[in-house]
């Protein structure tokens, strides 16, 4: 049992609905009211971020909930400054709950004289006194090795599997899971195993970032309901093109299950006009008004999983147990 009195949650401005939902789920799990620590996270006129924590956090087990999504730099600085405020207020342990880890795409030197920004962000987080990171579907799993502190990387595939089994329970034999590139095969295979479906791959060749020159489908998708699986969707150009190629190769329907809905620029318009019947994303990034108004985008909740993971960290029990369907189903009971 934890030596501290209780876990305490504090949130920045990046995703207040998710933070509130996590607090509600923790209240339900514990049978004790779990609120958010009173604090203000504001900006001076010149854009500088200021944090003041109103509650006493001395000796407490603190969890900062903050996605580093758009505006990525502002949200990252909020997280760093909140961590510094808690450390200087004598919090016993600080865990950063980062549902969407920004800068994860910059995990290696893709060409000469380029940075490894994900490593830089990891150094900054550790330098502020954060002792553990809890996140979901890192763009590259090796980013965990950039940290010299424990990193718990949750996966959305168990949640997606539950949703698919509910939404398509009468058509599970017709499903084909599709990886949108060779690099995402492991992620797609994980979901395919959970729903006992075959796997296909869309091989893409890029001329430059954001543009796809050619796509080839590896595998027979004729007559299949194809489910594209990926960790993030940004401008949705590649995703919509992959959906078109699958339909041209005989797929009966195309759906997409993608963890992080970055959805910047023309993404929502492209998805609305695409051949995809649905795009399912999680709430790791707060949905914009444009996302909410897009008819073929649906959001599934991550709060139950994050709430249980936070409680497991606080209690010193296994976080990886949440990858098991038998463990996850009761947590999501009645939500699908």
Mean pLDDT of the region 311-325: 91
Q: Tell me: the pLDDT tens digits for 48-72?
A: 999 999 999 999 999 999 999 999 9
| Orientation angle between helical segments 303-315 and 16-30, nearest 10 degrees | 60
Coil, strand or helix at 57: coil
CB-CB contact of 336 with 160 (8 Å): no
Q: Is the pLDDT of residue 213 over 80?
A: no
Q: Write out the binding residues for ATP.
A: 46-48, 105-106
Q: Tell me what percent of the chain is helix, strand and coil, each rounded to the nearest 5.
A: 35, 25, 40
CB-CB contact of 135 with 98 (8 Å): yes
Mean pLDDT, all residues of the chain = 93
Give the separation between CA 167 and CA 184, rounded to whole angstroms: 24
Would you state the pLDDT for residue 145? 95
- Where in the sequence numbering do the catalytic residues fall? 204
Give the separation between CA 142 and CA 139, rounded to whole angstroms: 9
Alpha helices, DSSP H, located in 210-321: 237-248, 267-272, 289-293, 303-315
Range in 16-25, 187-196, 302-311, 321-330 the model is least confident about: 321-330
Fold of 7-156+303-331: Rossmann fold (3.40.50)
Q: Is the pLDDT of residue 324 over 90?
A: no
Q: Write out the binding residues for Mg(2+).
A: 139, 181
Confidence of residue 203 (pLDDT cuts 50, 70, 90): confident
Confidence of residue 1 (pLDDT cuts 50, 70, 90): very low
Confidence of residue 207 (pLDDT cuts 50, 70, 90): low
Q: Tell me: the pLDDT tens digits for 234-274?
A: 999 989 999 999 999 999 999 999 999 999 999 999 999 99
CA R_g for the chain: 20
User: What CATH code would you report for 157-300?
Assistant: 3.40.50.2020
Percent of the chain with pLDDT strictly greater than 90 = 84
Give the separation between CA 291 and CA 266, rounded to whole angstroms: 11
Would you state the pLDDT for residue 210? 54
Q: Write out the binding residues.
A: 46-48, 105-106, 139, 181, 206, 230, 234-238
Tell me the whole-structure pTM to 2 decimals. Answer: 0.94
Q: Tell me, yes or no, if the two domains 7-156+303-331 and 157-300 fold the same way.
A: yes
Confidence of residue 209 (pLDDT cuts 50, 70, 90): low
Q: Is the pLDDT of residue 2 over 60?
A: no
Give the separation between CA 67 and CA 134, rounded to whole angstroms: 11
Instruction: Count Cβ atoms within 10 A of the Cβ of residue 54 and give its class: 0-12 exposed, 13-18 middle, 19 or more buried.
Output: exposed
Q: Where is pLDDT greater, at 111 or 136? A: 136
Domain range list for the chain: 7-156+303-331, 157-300
């Amino acid at each position: 049992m934890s030596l501290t009195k209780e876990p305490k949650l504090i949130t920045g401005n990046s995703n207040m609905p998710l933070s509130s939902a996590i607090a509600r789920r923790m209240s339900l799990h514990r049978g004790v009211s779990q609120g958010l620590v009173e604090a203000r996270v504001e900006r001076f006129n010149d854009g500088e971020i200021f944090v003041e924590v109103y509650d006493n956090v001395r000796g407490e087990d603190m969890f900062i909930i903050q996605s580093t999504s758009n505006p990525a730099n502002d949200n990252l600085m909020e997280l760093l400054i909140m961590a510094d405020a808690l450390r200087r207020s004598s919090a016993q342990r600080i865990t950063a709950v980062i549902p969407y880890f920004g800068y994860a795409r910059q995990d290696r030197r893709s060409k000469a004289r380029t940075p490894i920004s994900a490593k830089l962000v990891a150094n900054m987080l550790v330098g502020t006194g954060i002792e553990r990171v809890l996140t979901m579907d890192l763009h590259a799993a090796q980013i965990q090795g950039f940290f010299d502190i424990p990193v718990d990387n949750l996966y959305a595939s168990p949640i997606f599997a539950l949703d698919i089994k509910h939404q398509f329970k009468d058509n599970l034999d017709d499903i084909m899971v599709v990886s949108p590139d060779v690099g995402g095969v492991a992620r797609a295979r994980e979901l395919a195993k959970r729903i006992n479906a075959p796997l296909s791959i869309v091989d893409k060749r890029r001329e430059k970032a954001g543009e796809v020159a050619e796509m080839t489908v590896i595998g027979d998708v004729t007559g299949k309901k194809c489910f594209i699986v990926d960790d993030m969707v940004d401008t949705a150009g590649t995703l919509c093109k992959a959906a078109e190629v699958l339909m041209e190769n005989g797929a009966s329907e195309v759906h997409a299950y993608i963890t992080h809905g970055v959805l910047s620029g023309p993404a929502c318009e492209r998805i609305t006009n695409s051949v995809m019947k649905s795009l399912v994303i999680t709430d790791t990034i707060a949905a914009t008004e444009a996302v909410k108004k897009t008819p073929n985008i649906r959001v599934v909740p991550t709060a139950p999983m994050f709430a249980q993971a936070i409680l497991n960290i606080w209690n010193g029990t296994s976080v990886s147990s949440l990858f098991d369907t038998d463990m996850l189903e009761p947590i999501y009971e009645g939500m699908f």
